[in-house]
A = this chain, B = another copy of it.
Amino acid sequence: MKHKPFVIVVSAPSGTGKTTVLNYLKTLDNNLFYSVSATSRAKRPGEVDGRDYIFVSRQKFERWIEQGELLEWAEVYGEYYGTPRKPVRDALSRGMDIIMDLDVQGKRSLEREFKDDLVSIFLLPPDLAVLKQRLISRGAEDEEKLKLRLALAESELRWAYEYEYWVINDDVEKAANRILSIINAERMRQKRVIYKDLKK
């Protein structure tokens, strides 16, 4: 079946395991383009330019902002993060669907840009207790840092109401397959299907 390509945004509260799920999704057979964010922050050990982020200087990032080269961008703790427009547009014109890992602000910007061509998915922890456990097991943090992280995660959980789909991450493989089901279903929406014997 042929369809008009679209953009999928996946968001999640901290500690939900979004990166692991999206990495597993990459191993499943599909025609998805994984958008890579650009950032002005320094590369950390183990990170690969073009895979984890596109690492650019502050000057270059600011030029991109001025020239409208970014689909969305934000400054977080003094560093820039954003989505370059060109790779996304190029992949769409090659008929690929795009998947993006963004927070709620990024998702809102993308909605303004893509409107009906945006599908939003919110990944949820099995429940809040599990999320708390995951945050605790991430490392020996001091008490106050941990409390702040828990409060942040609970607040981020409320973004869920802005998203079309909710996927629970009780199991990485299941969660990735659920996202794939949503993408496959969205490819079959009437407005997207290309069928030569019915004009639109």
Residues of A within 8 A of B (CB): 1, 122, 124, 127-128, 157-158, 160-161, 163-168, 170, 178, 181-182, 184-186, 188-190, 193, 195-198
Contacts and interface: CB of A to CB of B under 8 A. Distances in A.
B181 A163 contact: no
A195 B168 contact: yes
Copies in the complex: 2
A198 B167 CA distance: 13
B127 A157 contact: no
Contact of A198 (B157, B170, B181, B198): B157
A135 to B, nearest CB: 15
Given A1-B168, A157-B198, A178 B189 contact: no
What are the 8 A-B residue pairs with the smallest beta carbon separation, nearest first? A185-B185, A166-B193, A181-B184, A182-B185, A128-B197, A165-B188, A181-B181, A1-B168
Contacts of A167: 1, 188
A195 B105 CA distance: 23
11 contacts: A1-B170, A124-B195, A157-B198, A158-B198, A161-B190, A161-B198, A165-B189, A166-B189, A166-B190, A181-B185, A181-B188
A17 to B, nearest CB: 16
A130 to B, nearest CB: 10
A124 B189 CA distance: 13
A166 B185 contact: no
Nearest to A190: B166
Contacts of A128: 197
Contact of A160 (B166, B189, B196, B198): B198
Given A166-B195, A181-B188, A182-B185, 14 more contacts: A1-B167, A122-B190, A124-B195, A157-B197, A160-B190, A161-B190, A163-B190, A165-B185, A165-B188, A165-B189, A165-B190, A178-B184, A181-B184, A181-B185
